[in-house]
Amino acid sequence: MSELSDLYQELILDHNRQPHNFHGMPDATRKAEGYNPLCGDQITVYLKLDNNRIQEVSFEGKGCAISKASASVMTDEVKGKTPLEAGSLFEKFRELVTQPKEDQPDKDELGRLAVFSGVSEFPARVKCATLAWHTLHSALEAQKGVTTTE
Ligand code: ZN
């Protein structure tokens, strides 16, 4: 087992203290809210989708360090991507935080998201780490009338 301090690596703590893209977006074209009842994490994700690209993305909310840091890193990583690219990154991230280390995707493909690899050893934290991604997914799917409960 990793030490708990491995989970709270410095980058995660930095993003928790000073989250990136942490603000509302009055002219967002998409918006979704997410809630993780297990931990009490709440998040609203805002998007500006143009030419099938995520031109702007931001979030607001409150929650634990993992949920906030994950949302912060996510907004950095998905900005400029197409919804399809963001979706495939979500799949990789989900594998990262749910699979044992030997089955996790290549760290090179994950960039800064790789700091969350320790989450896989703390199953109760998986929902914290993926909340922002589920909420982003809801925002991207909103036009099709799909609602998720995450
Ligand atoms: Zn949490």
Phi, psi of 61, deg, nearest 5: 145, -175
Q: Is the pTM of this model over 0.95?
A: no
In this structure, what DSSP letter does residue 116 have? G
* Ligand 1 centre distance from Cα of residue 106 (Å): 25
* Ligand 1 centre distance from Cα of residue 65 (Å): 7
Residue 146, pLDDT > 70, answer no
Instruction: Tell me which residue of 96, 94, 78, 51 sits closest to 139, measured CA to CA.
Output: 78
Beta bridge partners of 46: 31, 58
* Ligand 1 centre distance from Cα of residue 100 (Å): 20
- Does the domain formed by 3-148 have CATH 3.90.1010.10? yes
pLDDT at 137: 94
Q: Residue range 90-109: average pLDDT?
A: 88
The domain locations on the chain are 3-148
